[in-house]
Structure 1
């Protein structure tokens, strides 16, 4: 029996990034679009949480608080994952627009977006349902990782031999 669903080739291989074929500017543009989409979706999910907010003060809930927050464990996972995604996408946007015209304005706009997101999270989340220090830690993870990567690269770049002295060249394919 012939499997008509598979051609025997991986369909995604033609879409993967290839250094010689893909232009860096095109790759940057694609990454900016993807990062902007992720930032938009995660920002909207934080400002308007799934399930909406309570409309009245009755039955043990407060108007304007997230309905989803009353399932504290799952809301907590949602809030941390959403914050981590927003923070990482903003880091990508800031990194990819470095030395662009109006970069300072982009940084100011993204910081303002983070402040707006944070104030919305604080506004709709009941105080007892989440520990905000974990949300703040989630927001800082991408930046801390970037700092460690930069330090790692600086330390090992200084300890590396020039390429002409290396007998082997390591190539990583993803």
Structure 2
């Protein structure tokens, strides 16, 4: 039960607390969350909102995303979904570092990323999206994490 006498809000009550929560519990919760995010974003990339055209007709081709007919909205969806997928994969791999079968986790994760990219390429009309921006978006979390690590190492080395 949330203590009412302390004046704390429910939001601060459920935040991570080092005195109460163990790192192992936090890692387990994060693994569940990023696993869910990875699954949902993967599914959304493979089967985009609105589905795909079932036939080839005026201005569309069978197997292409219906949502792509709204170019700007689809682009926002694709970039946001890819960023969420890529970020969740980064966290998932980071949290399982040095776990048993870590190499196998990397292989499965890399294969899932390739599958995601190939599915997105398959359902997205070529003329609708500049794929280089989607690929750059996919790399952003990894590059950002590397830059943060390098900054921290440089700061520790000079202090």
For normalisation by structure 1, the TM-score amounts to 0.86
Runs of 4+ in 1 over 6 A off after TM superposition: none
Trace 1:64-143 onto structure 2 (pairs within 5 A).
Answer: 64-143=63-142
**Which residue of structure 2 aligns with residue 28 of structure 1?**
27
Instruction: Name the SS of the counterpart of 2:65 in structure 1.
Output: coil
Deviations 1:76-125 (A, max 9, x none): 01000000000000000000000000000001001000000000000000
Instruction: Name the SS of the counterpart of 1:127 in structure 2.
Output: coil
**In 1: Cα distance, 2:95 partner to 2:56 partner:** 45
How big is the shift at 1:8?
Answer: 5.8
Unaligned runs of 5+ in 2: 1-5
Number of equivalences: 154
How big is the shift at 1:16?
Answer: 0.5
**In 2: Cα distance, 1:27 partner to 1:39 partner:** 18
**In 2: Cα distance, 1:39 partner to 1:10 partner:** 30
**In 2: Cα distance, 1:98 partner to 1:11 partner:** 33
**Which residue of structure 2 aligns with residue 19 of structure 1?**
18
Instruction: Name the SS of the counterpart of 1:130 in structure 2.
Output: coil
For normalisation by structure 2, the TM-score amounts to 0.94
Instruction: Name the SS of the counterpart of 2:146 in structure 1.
Output: helix
How big is the shift at 1:66?
Answer: 0.2
Deviations 1:105-157 (A, max 9, x none): 00100100000000000000000000000000000000000100110110001
**In 1: Cα distance, 2:115 partner to 2:86 partner:** 13
**Structure number, greater radius of gyration:** 1
